[in-house]
Amino acid sequence: MSLTGGNRNDVTQLLPLVDRIPAVAGTVGRPQRRPDALLADRGYDHDKYRRLLWQRGIRPVIAERSEPHGSGLGIFRYVVERTIAWLHGFRRLRIRWERRDDIHEAFLSLATCLITHRHVQRLC
């Protein structure tokens, strides 16, 4: 996770975020280091980033700006948008008031723990 200013474009953090993905354990042999594909919305539609993702061995599945809506990515984007909505349910995360990054990250970690706890409680 990385924190940037609110006036920074999200696409500038795409490659550093992909490079920080930890190895996925669970299968026999060498752990998978990179995801197979990356799903993104129209804001990430640029030939430069598509090329750089292909060079890393990641298939970009990015909605194109000129295409009409309904590309089929909505069913996957729903998971992300729902999670962001859950995080916005915590008032301290809806608008960032903290000046220090470590405090904001602590509240973000606490919120994810509470969301996970609520879902585990629902299953039991």
Please give the Cα distance from 63 to 43 (Å, whole number).
Answer: 9
62 and 82, same domain (yes or no): no
Give 58-84 pLDDT, tens digit per residue.
Answer: 898 887 877 777 666 677 777 878 888
Q: How many domains does the chain have?
A: 2
- Predicted structure pTM score: 0.66
- The more confident residue out of 117 and 84 is 117
> Do residue 50 and residue 80 come from a single domain?
no
Cβ(58)–Cβ(34) below 8 Å: yes
Q: pLDDT digit string (tens) for 16-70?
A: 888 888 877 666 777 677 778 888 878 888 889 899 999 988 898 887 877 777 6
φ, ψ at 2 (rounded to 5°): -140, 145
Measure the CA–CA gap between 62 and 6, rounded to whole angstroms. 23
Task: Kindly state whether residues 86 and 105 are assigned to the same domain.
Answer: yes
Please provide residue 19's backbone torsions phi and psi, each rounded to the nearest 5 degrees: -70, -20
Instruction: Determine how many CB atoms are found less than 10 A away from the CB of residue 14.
Output: 19
